[in-house]
Amino acid sequence: MTDRMLPPALAEVARVGFDYDDGEGVDFEPYDLFDTAEDTTAWLRLWTGNPEADGSAFRVFGKDGAGGLAAIWTVRPGLPPDDQPVVFLGSEGECGLVAGNLSELLWVLADGFGPREAARYEDEERTARPHAAFTAIAERFATTPRRPAVEIVLGARAEFPSFEEDLDALCR
């Protein structure tokens, strides 16, 4: 991976940033660039305990406070990062789908959820807390219609029902 530039929508999200709000907000720190392939592979090897794991299927664009990563999962051959699913790989081994593509991620953010919160949606009773700046970004860049975050997360899970098994196979 030589191109570390974020898609324009993610670059705007990074400029806005997130407010943790003493645990009531979103626990996410977006990066200004995609992580390097070497850093992603090194993290994945530590995360899995497998010194042979290859992180090339992931384009990491941010982290939560515990060190979990948000990434674009390049599972759709030949498609650009914008058209790939977004996943969360938690520091304690948890993982989950966040959105089916970057456009859908923008609507998840507009609803007030970060990657970690969206990936763990059923674990936490949270209601949408619309975020004006992220809504404006989604309205400018999204190519999909607005839907509630829960529909987006459940749709991504339905599209990739074997995500955890696929991830396990990548990391063996």
- Other CB atoms within 10 Å distance of the CB of residue 96: 22
Model pLDDT for residues 117-150, shown as the tens digit of each residue: 888 766 456 688 899 999 999 999 999 999 999 9
Model pLDDT for residues 56-82, shown as the tens digit of each residue: 999 999 999 999 999 999 999 999 999
pTM: 0.93
pLDDT of residue 72: 97
pLDDT of residue 172: 60
Q: Is the pLDDT of residue 17 over 50?
A: yes
Region 41-48: mean pLDDT is 92
- Helix segments in the chain, DSSP class H: 8-16, 37-48, 102-110, 115-119, 132-141, 149-159, 163-171
User: Vertex 39, ends 34 and 41: CA angle to 5°?
Assistant: 110
In this prediction, residue 5 has a pLDDT band, given cuts at 50, 70 and 90, of: very high
Region 76-89: mean pLDDT is 96
